[in-house]
Structure 1
Amino acid sequence: MYRSINVSILGIILLLLLSCTGPSTHSLSNELIEIDVKKEYPKKDIVLNDIAEITYIPLETNDSSVIHPSFEISLSTDTIITGDYFQSKLFFFNKKGDYLGGFKRCCGQSGTEYHSLNLFTVDYTQQELYVYDDFFLSYILYDFSGNFKRRIKLPKQVWLRHLYVYDDKNLIGYSKWSWHGKFDGKSDVVEENPYYFIDKQTGVMSPVPITIKKRISDDVKFRDEKTGESMLTSLYMNPMLKTKDGFIIADPSLDTVYHFVNDVLTPVTVFKNRDMEENLVDLHSVIFYSDRYLLLEVQKKEVDYARKTLVEHPNHFLFCDRETQEICEATLYISDKTSKLKIDSYDVSEIPDNMFVSLFTAGYLKWLLEQGTLKGELKKIAENLDEEANSVMMIAKFKQ
């Protein structure tokens, strides 16, 4: 049984301790980074090639492997698995991008198929995939050939935003919100324990030791008064990120970002001076986390209730060197591209040690080629790429 911790109180204690102590003498992994949201940090261009080895992987395109540009990614040391939400199909590639096969088990009523492919996670040791079926509030286990093994019904009425393999017995997931409340544009999040361990065999859910008394969501929901239809708009801030030995938990409701390893929550970053008014909130999520580097996205959430939408605010990327404790507002670049690197929101499930993954659609690369902003290997790839081809993966493996 896991003991519940009120992390809001813990965050306050950490801030007090931080203000009363001198420079940390802990190891790099235990360095606590303090982010002042109101502070203007120095602006700096970060070339990923200076701190990481860059590899491009064009995913093979043939009649059986055409993938929509938006897909979920899972990586092992030798396999790439992508999940296409629009086709509800899973595709397998090797690390060179060669297509190995795929399967689709969608839309039937037999109990062996998922309603749609929204979320999946992979156990590479057992060569099994867990596909979350949000329509039937369950998950289905398949082997890598697509053979059905079992369906497990979840005991709670939740909507999972993230799902990962935790260990040989459990999955771990984040429930964005439960099916409660009114569609009035205000938060209807009522669960105080949104992070769960999920038993692989039984589906029994038990809370991760994080209790949040007042939840903040990165989206808002409205109901159209004339049609009765619900509307959802979101900033897509990701509260979970898998690391080589655990998970980053960057809940937008909390002032502290944690690294959760072996059932222990270790603070990584503390935010201070956040706007936390009813209709103006500073949100954050972690883009990548390596042995040395941390990239955070900071975004304001403001709701225009009259227009039933979110007010547009610029987002900022804060790059933290955990060795030197340097913090800067970063613009990312790669050496094969003169324009800045776009940081888009997409789902990455499993990923090997010390890596960051991004995607370039074929259409975007062809456009960059026309603009004359590509060089080196990426330019050669774009020159030989059909505009209807699959996306090209970029893998950055950090040197430290």
Structure 2
Amino acid sequence: MHYKYIGKIIPWILLAITLASGSGCSNAEKNVAAPNEAEDDSTRILTSTNIQDVDLLKTYPEKKITIDDIADIRYIPLETNEESVIGFARKVSFGDDKIFVYDGQGDQILIFDNDGKYLSKINRKDAGPHGYNKITDMTVDFDSQLVYIMDLSFPRKLKAYDFDGYRQKEFTIPNEPSINQMTMFNSDKIIFHCQPSGGLNTEEVIGTHPYRWIDTRTGAVTPVDIEIEHPESSTYTVIDGNHARMTSIEMYPLLKTGKSVVLADYTYPTVYQSDGKNFKPLFTKPEGKKSATGKIPMSTVWAMSDRYILFFVTEKSLNKNTDSIEQGGTRALLYDRKTGEIIDPDWNRRDVKGGSIMMEWNWEMPENTFVTTYSSSTLKMLDEKGRLSGRLKEIADSIDEEANDVLVLMKMKK
């Protein structure tokens, strides 16, 4: 299946852009120690010459894949009541016995058990001692039972809450407002990716070290020792009157799968995977270099298990007439690490007639698991058209159109 996207046009209040552009990751390059000086001795970016190269620029055959044949499927309807309504599940983090949902619309974090039963929530949008202004991202340390949020303030703050919703830590993150994504590396460190949000009418240069560590013990911010000569952004921002207009390609370079983090930069050739302590090279992919026509190949890892890697591949270009970025040749590629086969997957499901499967972005996934969702309205529509069967039909018949999403966990077979 070919995944087709268009750039998202998102209005932003000018003040928010002004705050973000005051000091971005590009400027922060001058305010942090050099990688060799700042890097924690316990964390290394390892090298290897004996890793596989995966060519993502070739054309691969389209092939029908019935997901039930390669994965065990589990549905989790998230309980809906007056306290647990989710406006928009922007990010979900899965633990052994709890599921954390960052509700971007409600600006809160809801906690469910692994069967979807609502437990509690963190909603501290106030000026009190435990309050926050606006959540922009979340990551969960299940070992220490802490939820870290990035609070939209100036200067930006990283705040840690226990699972009962009480603030335990707070760190000011100086000169680092352009944070695109963050995830737990281990209990001592969070890794985050810098992306320009204040580049006005231009693609802002974000320095040669677009990834940062945050020490969760001290709040110290240091660069990850991966140097990228010309890092690319997936966003482009212009000023339009009193508003900023941003176009973006929905893709992220960091993937959390179980306790492991995969770093697959858009254009950098080496893909790394953590072992809890170090980053080790996993494989290489084509380096993204701008062509004579101005197109830049970009790719990342969308989902991963021990056997399968799902890549997202696209080309970025700048349309100077519309002051926006465009993408072309967008596709997903499924790599079977056991057989070496690479295909353009046309996903099918036994309990759904027709349709496609769109994996979730920027979620903290269970190990060896791909994740997607169904909204209640989509399930109702499919049910009315007679396209559902089995457990999914049972769920559709038991919920109404205002219910929370149904999580679909696909634990990949080996």
TM-score (norm 1): 0.86
Query: Which deviations, in whole Å up to 9, do the C-alpha atoms of 1:79-119 show, x marking residues without a partner?
Result: 1110111111111111111111112011x334632211221
Which residue pairs with 1:10 in the alignment? none
Q: Using the TM superposition, give the Cα deviation of residue 278 of structure 1 relative to its aligned residue in structure 2, in angstroms.
A: 6.9
Change (3 A) 1:371 1:268: farther
The match for 1:142 is: 161
Q: Paired residue for 2:219?
A: 203
Q: What is residue 338 of structure 2 aligned with on the other side?
A: 323
Q: Which among 212, 229, 241 is matched to residue 228 of structure 2?
A: 212
Give 5+ residue unaligned stretches, structure 1.
5-12, 18-29
Q: Is the 8 A contact 1:141 1:149 kept in 2?
A: yes
The 5-angstrom pairing of residues 290-301 of structure 1 reads: 290-301=305-316
Q: Which residue of 2 aligns with 1:35?
A: 55
Within 2, Cα distance between the matches of 1:364 and 1:278? Answer: 40
Counterpart contact for 2:267–2:287, Cα < 8 Å: no
- Residues 369 and 309 (structure 1), Cα distance of their counterparts in 2 relative to 1, 3 Å cut: farther
Q: Distance in 2 between matches of 1:167 and 1:378?
A: 36
Q: What SS does structure 2 have at the residue aligned with 1:313?
A: strand
Output the CA distance in 2 between the equivalents of 1:363 and 1:314.
30
Inter-partner Cα distance in structure 2 for 1:311 and 1:203: 37
Query: 2-side partners of 1:272 and 1:195: how far apart?
Result: 18
The offset of 1:301, in angstroms, is: 1.5
What is the 5 A alignment of 1:268-307? 268-271=283-286, 276-277=291-292, 279-307=294-322
Deviations 1:311-367 (A, max 9, x none): 353521100001111111112222211223331554312x33211111111111111
Which of 114, 120, 130 aligns to 2:138? It is: 120
Matched residue type, 1:390: N
1:378 pairs with 2:397:
no
Letter in 2 for 1:34: V
- Percent identical across equivalent pairs? 29
- Aligned residue in 2 for 1:253: 267
Report the number of matched residues.
370
Q: 1:348 aligns with which of 332, 347, 363?
A: 363
1:315 maps to amino acid: T
Query: 5 Å matches for 1:163-202?
Result: 163-177=182-196, 179=198, 181=199, 183-184=200-201, 186-202=202-218
Q: Which amino acid aligns with 1:168?
A: S
Conserved 8 A contact 1:157-1:178: no
Report the equivalent of 1:26: none
CA distance in 1, matches of 2:256, 2:36: 22
| Cα distance change, pair 76–36 in 1 and its aligned pair in 2 (3 A) | closer
Aligned position for 2:26:
none
Please tell me the residue identity of whatever aligns with 2:233.
S
Distance in 2 (alpha carbons) for counterparts of 1:347 and 1:264: 19
Q: Please, which of 48, 63, 66 is the counterpart of residue 85 of structure 2?
A: 66
Alpha-carbon offset, residue 76 of structure 1: 0.6
Question: RMSD between aligned alpha carbons?
Answer: 2.3
Task: Choose the corresponding residue for 1:308, options 323, 331, 344.
Answer: 323
**Residue identity opposite 2:387 in structure 1:** T
Distance (Å, rounded) in 1 between the aligned partners of 2:107 and 2:91: 11
> Does the residue aligned with 2:135 lie in a helix, a strand or coil?
coil
| More divergent stretch after superposition (170-179 vs 320-329) | 170-179
**CA contact 1:140–1:150 (8 Å) conserved in 2:** yes
Using the alignment, how far apart are the partners of 1:168 and 1:89 within structure 2?
23
Given that 1:111 and 1:151 are in contact with CA atoms closer than 8 Å, whether structure 2 keeps it comes out as no
Aligned residue identity for 1:51: I
Unaligned runs of 5+ in 2: 1-33, 38-46
- CA–CA distance in structure 1, aligned partners of residues 104 and 219 of structure 2: 24
Contact 1:112 1:151 in 2 (8 A): no
- Structure 2: how far apart are the matches of 1:69 and 1:244? 23
After TM superposition, the score normalised by the length of structure 2 is 0.83
Alpha-carbon distance between aligned partners in 2 of 1:273 and 1:176, rounded to the nearest angstrom: 17
| AA matched with 2:226 | I
Taking a change above 3 Å as real, the CA distance of residues 83 and 42 of structure 1, as seen in their structure-2 partners, is same
2:208 partner letter: E
2: CA distance, partners of 1:228 / 1:188: 20
- Distance in 2, matches of 1:47 and 1:205, equals 44
Which residue of structure 1 aligns with residue 10 of structure 2?
Answer: none
1:267 to 272, 282, 292: 282
Partner of 2:161, secondary structure, is: strand
CA-to-aligned-CA distance 1:160-210 (integer Å, 9 cap, x gap)? 22222222322221112375x5x12x3103221111111112210122121
